[in-house]
A and B are shown apart, each in its own frame.
Chain A
Amino acid sequence: MKHGYLIQRLIMFFVVIVLAATLNFIIPRLAPGDPVGAVLEELRARGASTGGDAEDEIVAAYRARFGLDQPIHIQYVSFLFNTLRFDLGYSISYYPQKVEQALLRSLPWTVGLLAISTLMSFAFGSFFGALMAWPRAPAAVNRFVPFFMILSAVPYYLLGLILVYIFAFVLRWLPLGGAYASGTVPELDLDFILDVIKHGILPALSILLTSVGFWALGMRGVMVTVLGEDYLTLAEAKGLPDRRIFFAYAMRNALLPQVTSLAIALGTVASGSVLVEVIFNYPGVGWLLYNALRSSDYYMVQGVAFFLILTVAVSVLIVDLIYPLLDPRIER
């Protein structure tokens, strides 16, 4: 049974990855024209090319160079093979760098910023949500509820813009954007770390404020169910202290489904980062993507898209593999 479950999950993972690569192959080819033609059109529009025999030769040469003259199924197989080896092609704007090199360079910034703020938001939101469902919680807890609920409906990058305006532009307390002061060389000393933290506060805050409500709502829902369980009544009847019932009996059990969401949320860190990095000029994966879109660096756009799917698929796989350890009922 155990092997069956494992194999099923692994197949699912593989299907998602192949599907992602396939979409990356098909969608750009559905658009009218081919990449070489598109570049040529642009050259013509700028008056840099006048057509004629010489042009046809250039086109043929380029088509051969990018493998576009081969039958479509051979193109597909080699594309698939390259993608699965994480060979995502050359970036046009960072040439001669490859897409995956640029990706790996920006990744630490994204993971650092987003993972930390997601974890903080998870911890705070879950605790807060558990308190919301707890009948003996201080009444003040429920007074914050509407505030967080409303914030959770606001996209984080919109809140981010407002925060930047207030704290960076008007009050000038914090930097406007970027990950560190321009002109400094990244090195591991205290000044640089403090600078990075200072630059991270606003983007982290905009994510934190808008996602706390999500965690709190989810936790409250599970907590309400857990509070109705018999073992909680028993714990109370035994006369256990409130604090112990709350943490060890109620919250601990209610956290289980939350952990699944956390793993998936951590997987979507990369795709969630896109817009917040655009707003804050933060040099992560999202910023890379934004620049690639602006400079029509299609290989980079596709590479980032594939990478976003890959990170989620990996984290879903990890959850699927870990979950039976947490809750043995799942396997059946």
Chain B
Amino acid sequence: MIETFLRRGKAAGIYILRSPKLLLGLVLLTSLLLLGLVGPQFVDVENARPISVPTNRPPSAEFPLGTDSGGRDVLAVIIVGTPQTLRMGLLAGIVGVVLGTSLGLIAGYYGGTLDMIISTVTDTMLTIPPLAILLVVAASVRSMSVENMALIIALLSWMFPARTIRAQVLSLREQPYVHMARLAGLSDIRIIFEEIMPNILPLAAASFVGATSGAILAGIGLEVLGLGPQRTPTLGMTIYWAQLYSALIRGLWWWWLPPILVLIVLFVGLFLVSAAMDEFVNPRLRRTG
């Protein structure tokens, strides 16, 4: 089992170096991570709190990205907010994928009534726009934290992983080596973990990137509507405050532009990684583009 993982890990490693998309995507994401890790060494992150610096200052030597109307140093907000956004996305992505993969495995492997129930629920949930549920939940929860938000979003991001994993397991279940394992008297648990799991890992990894990206998108959407965490500065809440105080028509571009640029780098990075992973999982896509 470990050997299989190692072999696959090596294949994936070689693939990273050969795929410019993946490399560029990882560079973009790593630079955002570094921003959050190294940034606090150079910038006083205490200035991300309201009323800690003079208001509405354009970018200067003292405040490289200026300050907002709430008396926050925009650079400090970005440095504090970027890791929060990443944390929220990763947390929601992990919970969503673990939940989705488990459900997909169970539905695909056991089939029958269990599969019917899981599939029906998945398909039903897929037709409900997540924003609608998130809105009602977020509007009811009085104090929102990054973790709360991640969990709420995670509960709505397991459906796509569940469906893709189930489809894959359905075809894997009929592979000769799985039949062999069953004939050899291996227990269901061992077949699932040793014969099927290694083969769905790339797919699970690809849907993890997708789920994370979707979770961040949903989170930012809620934040821009003002439903995000009130106490921790996040990228989306910064856009919300900027919008609320009409930063745009007051010409305070340094308030709303930096969070948007960071988010664009983040989404493009995730998109590149996910596109490269799709190509890895589905080699037919490699031909074009």
- A316 and B125 CA atoms in complex are apart in Å by 12
A176 at the interface (CB under 8 A from B): yes
Which of B132, B221, B263 has a CB less than 8 Å from the CB of A305? B132
Which partner residue on chain B sits nearest A221 by CB separation?
B285
A23 at the interface (CB under 8 A from B): yes
- A30 and B120 CA atoms in complex are apart in Å by 26
Q: Which segment, of A12-20, A44-52, A191-199, A236-244, faces chain B?
A: A12-20
For the complex formed, measure the closest distance between the CB of A266 and the CB atoms of chain B, giving whole angstroms. Answer: 13
Known A169-B249, A293-B226, A293-B227; judge A31-B140 contact (CB<8 A).
yes
Known A23-B136, A27-B140, A308-B131; judge A133-B288 contact (CB<8 A).
yes
Q: Mark B211-228, 1 if CB is under 8 A from A, else 0.
A: 000000100110011110
Interfacial chain B residues near A115, Cβ < 8 Å:
none
Q: Mark B256-271, 1 if CB is under 8 A from A, else 0.
A: 1100100110011011
B249–A158 CB distance below 8 A? no
B136–A24 CB distance below 8 A? yes
For the complex formed, measure the closest distance between the CB of B223 and the CB atoms of chain A, giving whole angstroms. Answer: 10
For the complex formed, measure the closest distance between the CB of A247 and the CB atoms of chain B, giving whole angstroms. Answer: 20
B137–A27 CB distance below 8 A? yes
- A306 and B132 CA atoms in complex are apart in Å by 7
B133 at the interface (CB under 8 A from A): yes
Q: Which segment, of A68-76, A84-92, A148-156, faces chain B?
A: A148-156
For the complex formed, measure the closest distance between the CB of B211 and the CB atoms of chain A, giving whole angstroms. Answer: 15
- A78 and B59 CA atoms in complex are apart in Å by 57
B41 at the interface (CB under 8 A from A): no
- A217 and B140 CA atoms in complex are apart in Å by 38
A290 at the interface (CB under 8 A from B): yes
Which of B132, B220, B285 has a CB less than 8 Å from the CB of A271? B132
Chain B residues 70 to 114 lying within 8 A of chain A, measured CB to CB, are none
For the complex formed, measure the closest distance between the CB of A321 and the CB atoms of chain B, giving whole angstroms. Answer: 14
A312–B127 CB distance below 8 A? yes
Q: Mark B273-285, 1 if CB is under 8 A from A, else 0.
A: 0010000000011
- A312 and B251 CA atoms in complex are apart in Å by 38
A209 at the interface (CB under 8 A from B): no
A16–B251 CB distance below 8 A? no
Interfacial chain A residues near B267, Cβ < 8 Å:
153-155
- A70 and B220 CA atoms in complex are apart in Å by 39
- A7 and B214 CA atoms in complex are apart in Å by 33
Chain A residues 141 to 190 lying within 8 A of chain B, measured CB to CB, are 142, 145, 149-150, 152-155, 157-158, 161-162, 164-165, 169, 176
Which of B123, B124, B139, B287 has a CB less than 8 Å from the CB of A298? B139
Chain B residues 193 to 243 lying within 8 A of chain A, measured CB to CB, are 217, 220-221, 224-227, 239, 243
Interfacial chain B residues near A153, Cβ < 8 Å:
264, 267-268, 270-271
Interfacial chain A residues near B275, Cβ < 8 Å:
149
- A279 and B243 CA atoms in complex are apart in Å by 8
Interfacial chain B residues near A15, Cβ < 8 Å:
124
A211 at the interface (CB under 8 A from B): no
A302 at the interface (CB under 8 A from B): yes
- A114 and B116 CA atoms in complex are apart in Å by 36
B253 at the interface (CB under 8 A from A): yes
Which partner residue on chain A sits nearest B142 by CB separation?
A31
B120, B128, B220 pick with most chain A CB within 10 angstroms: B128
A158–B260 CB distance below 8 A? yes
B135 at the interface (CB under 8 A from A): yes
A161–B248 CB distance below 8 A? yes
For the complex formed, measure the closest distance between the CB of B203 and the CB atoms of chain A, giving whole angstroms. Answer: 17
Which range contains the number of A residues in contact with the other chain?
Answer: 35 or more
- A157 and B223 CA atoms in complex are apart in Å by 13
Q: How many B residues touch A, CB cutoff 8 Å?
A: 44
A152–B271 CB distance below 8 A? yes
- A120 and B74 CA atoms in complex are apart in Å by 38
Which of B129, B142, B220 has a CB less than 8 Å from the CB of A308? B129
Interfacial chain B residues near A23, Cβ < 8 Å:
133, 136
For the complex formed, measure the closest distance between the CB of B286 and the CB atoms of chain A, giving whole angstroms. Answer: 11
Interfacial chain B residues near A275, Cβ < 8 Å:
221, 224-225
B27 at the interface (CB under 8 A from A): no
Q: Mark A76-114, 1 if CB is under 8 A from B, else 0.
A: 000000000000000000000000000000000000000
- A305 and B130 CA atoms in complex are apart in Å by 10
Interfacial chain A residues near B225, Cβ < 8 Å:
274-275, 278, 289-290, 293
A301 at the interface (CB under 8 A from B): yes
B288–A132 CB distance below 8 A? yes
For the complex formed, measure the closest distance between the CB of A129 and the CB atoms of chain B, giving whole angstroms. Answer: 10
A37 at the interface (CB under 8 A from B): no
Which partner residue on chain A sits nearest B134 by CB separation?
A305
Which of B124, B137, B226, B271 has a CB less than 8 Å from the CB of A294? B226
A224 at the interface (CB under 8 A from B): yes
Which partner residue on chain B sits nearest A32 by CB separation?
B142
B51 at the interface (CB under 8 A from A): no
- Given known contacts A27-B136, A150-B268, A305-B136, what 6 new A-B pairs fall within 8 Å (CB)? A132-B289, A155-B263, A165-B253, A176-B248, A301-B136, A302-B136
> What 5 A-B pairs are tightest by C-beta distance, nearest first?
A153-B271, A271-B129, A308-B132, A305-B132, A31-B140
Q: 7 A-B pairs, CB-CB below 8 angstroms?
A: A28-B136, A28-B139, A28-B140, A154-B268, A157-B224, A271-B132, A279-B243
- Residues of B whose CB lies within 8 Å of any CB of A are 120, 123-124, 127-129, 131-133, 135-137, 139-142, 217, 220-221, 224-227, 239, 243, 248-249, 251, 253, 256-257, 260, 263-264, 267-268, 270-271, 275, 284-285, 287-289
